[in-house]
Amino acid sequence: MQKVFRKLHLVILVLMLVLVLAACSSASQTVGTGETASPDDSTDTADIPSKEDTPKEVEPVSSVVDFDHELDSYIPQKDHYSFYFTYKTVHPWWDAVALGMEEAQRQFLDKGITVTYEYMAPERASADDQTKWLLQAEHENYDVIGVDVADESVISPVIDGMADAGTKVMTFSSSDAAEGCKRIAYVGNTHNYEDGAGLTEALCEKLGYKGKVAILVGSKGAPCHEDRAEGARDTIAKYSDMKIVATEYDMDSVDQAYELTLKILKDNPELDGIICCNMSNPVGAARAVKETGSSAVIVGMDHDREALRYLDEGVIYCLGVQDCYSIGFDTLQVAVKIADGNMPGELFPEKTNEITTVIYQKDAALMLELLYGDI
Amino acid sequence: MKKKKRITNRTFLLTAVIGSLLVIAMVTVNSIWSSNQTRLETDEAVSAVSRFYLDTMADRRAQTVSNQIDNEFNQMEKALVFIKDEKIESQEELRETLGKIKNLLSLNRFALVDQDDVVYTQYTTYTGKSRHEFLSEEKMDDRIISTVSLYGSSKQLCLAIPTPDLTIMSKPFKACFVQIDIKEIIDLLAVDDQGRTYFALYSKNGSNLSGTELGPIISDQNIFEATKEFVSEDVWKENFNRFAEDTRGSMTFSSGDVKETLCYVPIWGTGWELAVLIHESVILDQIRDISEKNLSTNRNQIAFTLLAVLFFSAVLLQELRALSKYELDAEKEASKAFQNMASTDSMTGVRNKHAYSEFENALNQEIQNREIQKLAVVVCDINGLKYINDTQGHAAGDQLIKEASTMICNYFIHGAVFRVGGDEFVVILQEKGYDTMDEVLGELNEKVEANIKENGVVVSIGSSVLQPGDQQLHDVFARADHMMYERKKELKSMGAKTREI
């Protein structure tokens, strides 16, 4: 009997061993530790500035700037072109124009046509500097010289002189020369007066056609800036309860625009609105308004990144955005045609009209993404 | 002394069944626990593996970007040496040289900047202060790496080297630089892993620089805007700070059924974070597949083991029972033999006085309970045994006893024969033996009387049957014994030998 129990114990022991090993084998594959951040329902909502709805229907923001360009079917007569372009002042607005030009240059290169060019501007807008540069370029054997007119009264005669000497001159981007000037063609904004009038109209509507406003202008004599200021003044004049209390020129300097706005606000603490006629104006004005806590409504021009952020924050009410990229692309394309001896007509117009779109606060974020990839 | 508890078959079976059930329950519970534990720990292991995998991948990709940046800087240094050797005298020659550099060193957008911040490229010359942020630095002492957001949302990496000793066309040049489209860098990192992992480059504030999608939840949005609702505030802030501080980290978040883990590492000098993301389900599915297979195998093994345990337990129980029964029977047999030995007269083979006493006790109980009707006692005494012993020896006496016993047994074939004394036998008759008693007694007495003449075995026989007043067997025995003595006298008169002769 004892032997039987001994055998029984042995068998049970073996079976228990099998069971333990089986259990261990299922547990032994669990290795490692890890820390997992658990999702949480809590949300930390950032303060979002209130967005005011646009008072009127505007074009979709995506169509404000056209980055999708292709050269037209014109076949250039040479395989190499050399151009000289000069514009008012070193400023990001013209850097955007430059990108359009570079795209056109790349597309010409793909077709086996080399386009080389200089794209120059002084540190500060100066008709005298521009005159000097143009006269220097005249002797450099460029196929075409392009100029964004700093002051039409000064530059137009210079252009005429160059044209009389056989130099092919065109105007481009923001400012054309004076009426009757001998430049061959203009590619750029042809509706500066209307842009100024349109922005001012939007401001008047916002203010209920009643209030004191100031006008900030860029460079004295710059046709585009002056035309916009004129459009603004004429619009204000239509409404008897609207009054212009100051007009200042920042000479395309953001810092100047800021200082001038501070001064205007100090002199006119009850200021209701500021009309900005160039790219630097709204940035400086917005800085000052935000800093002083003024309730002045700002309308302005162009696509400066900081200005768009102020628009997004609600400091600026609306901005007129020009399609700089298209201006640059079309400028180079027209320059090639002019270099080949073509004149305005079927191949290109005497004035190539480029669009300006007024965008409001609700469009700011999309515009920042579109232009600067701010996500 | 404490009385030992008796183990019955029922107790044994109960213990075996409860024991087996306990073992099965323990194995089953253990299996389920192990299975659940395995799943939990597998999930944790997956997170750990995911992070390790992503960490490694992010490191490798960040290293690739760093190597690319180093390579670009090296090429730029070579380009500067090349330019210095060229002795450039005009803008045309400079453009031609830049074209050569493009072909020789694969520096597509290599540019030089003079002291007036005029930028010279292969095809254009432009005033670049507002366009290139690094030019606004008052003094350039070292290499500069910066990220440039171009109008039109294109983002580029700008690498610049100061060139204090470079003079071309009698103009001092302050720097050279290249701008690389970030999409081109991303192309270097692209690995075809069938959409299992995602990666993207981010600025310190979490903006996507590469335009690549970091999985379906974050997509190409700002990484912190996109993850805000999926992680706790603490985790969110911790990672936000890590980004801002240019350090590495990781984050796991879930949206619906989708669980994603991302790791990010800084790319030295760029202010970028390279983030790599993987759906945990990718690793989890693979590990779970393996785990499920193992679990399934283990379940089968455990089930098989349980069945084997049950089978072997049943077999063992059966064998144990059989063995116990065998042992029990053997013990019973031994006990019976021992009992037989104790109750049998060794000389004659009939039951002895001890057996008679036990039998008498049993019968007395029945007599007292009136459970018995037919009972007779026959008392037999061998005549002349002493004479034979004295004259012919004990062997002859023993022989006489054996012959007498044989004769008694032969006649009382339906009775129980006991040797209760040296020459005395008692026969208990019941049922058939009782019914045939008179006939047998007659035949036996005839034989005895015949044996007197033939000098054979002579036995004096007295008998009596159970009477209604009898309280015990001895009452019947006494009457039979008395009758036996009467018969002995009778036989003596017939010439039978007696003790006295």
DSSP annotation string for B236-272: HHHHHHHHHTT--EEEEEEETTEEEEEEEEEETTTTE
Q: Chain B contact for A373, CB < 8 A?
A: yes
Where is pLDDT greater, at B228 or A272? Answer: A272
Contacts of A114 in chain B (CB under 8 A): 123
Residue A86, pLDDT > 80, answer yes
Q: Do B125 and A35 touch (CB under 8 A)?
A: no
Which domains are assigned to chain A?
A: 61-190+324-355 (3.40.50.2300), 192-322 (3.40.50.2300)
- Minimum-distance CB partner of A22 among B209, B298, B327: B298
- Minimum-distance CB partner of B294 among A29, A39, A115: A29
Catalogue the long-range contacts made by A53-56 (C-beta closer than 8 Å, 24 or more residues apart): A53/A360, A53/A362, A54/A318, A54/A360, A54/A361, A54/A362, A54/A363, A55/A202, A55/A205, A55/A206, A55/A360, A56/A202
- Minimum-distance CB partner of A99 among B30, B150, B324: B150
Where is pLDDT greater, at B324 or A339? Answer: A339
In the block, tokens 């006085």 appear at B353
Q: Of all residues in chain B, what percent carry a pLDDT higher than 90?
A: 36
Q: Chain B contact for A81, CB < 8 A?
A: no
Q: Tell me the two tokens of residue B34.
A: 């192990």
Residues 112-131 of A with CB under 8 A from B: 114-121, 123
Residue A56, pLDDT > 50, answer no
What fold is seen in the domain B62-181? Beta-Lactamase (3.30.450)
Taking the CA of residue B222 and the nearest CA in chain A, the distance in Å comes to 6
Contacts of A105 in chain B (CB under 8 A): 123-124
Where is pLDDT greater, at A10 or A76? Answer: A76
**Amino acid, res. B92:** E
| Mean pLDDT for all residues in chain B | 86
Which one, of A367, A15, A328, lies nearest residue A148 by Cα?
Answer: A328
Q: Do B23 and A19 touch (CB under 8 A)?
A: yes
Q: Do B298 and A31 touch (CB under 8 A)?
A: no
Q: Chain A contact for B281, CB < 8 A?
A: no
Q: Tell me the two tokens of residue A374.
A: 């701010």
Q: Where are the domains of chain B?
A: 62-181, 186-284, 353-493
Q: Chain B contact for A15, CB < 8 A?
A: yes
Taking the CA of residue A84 and the nearest CA in chain B, the distance in Å comes to 9
Residues 110-169 of B with CB under 8 A from A: 118, 123-127, 129-131, 149-155
Fold match between B62-181 and B186-284?
yes
Cβ–Cβ under 8 Å, residues A226 and A282: no
Contacts of A33 in chain B (CB under 8 A): 44-45, 48
Residue A360, pLDDT > 50, answer yes
pTM assigned to the model:
0.64
Going by pLDDT thresholds of 50, 70 and 90, the confidence category of residue A30 is very low
Which one, of A375, A343, A367, A295, lies nearest residue A54 by Cα?
Answer: A367
Per-residue model confidence as pLDDT tens digits over B127-144: 988 888 888 877 788 899
Cβ–Cβ under 8 Å, residues B246 and B204: yes
Q: Do B309 and A15 touch (CB under 8 A)?
A: yes
In the block, tokens 């033939």 appear at B454
What fold is seen in the domain B353-493? Alpha-Beta Plaits (3.30.70)
Q: Do A119 and B125 touch (CB under 8 A)?
A: yes
Mean pLDDT computed over B197-211: 86
How many CB pairs lie under 8 A apart between chains A and B?
Answer: 175
Pick the CATH number of B186-284 from 3.30.70.270, 3.90.1170.50, 3.40.630.30, 3.30.450.20: 3.30.450.20
**Measured distance CA(B275)–CA(B252) in Å, rounded:** 12
β-strands A297-301, A316-322 pairing = parallel
Taking the CA of residue B46 and the nearest CA in chain A, the distance in Å comes to 8
Cross-strand bridge partners of residue B430: B375
Going by pLDDT thresholds of 50, 70 and 90, the confidence category of residue A50 is very low
Q: Of all residues in chain A, what percent carry a pLDDT higher than 70?
A: 83
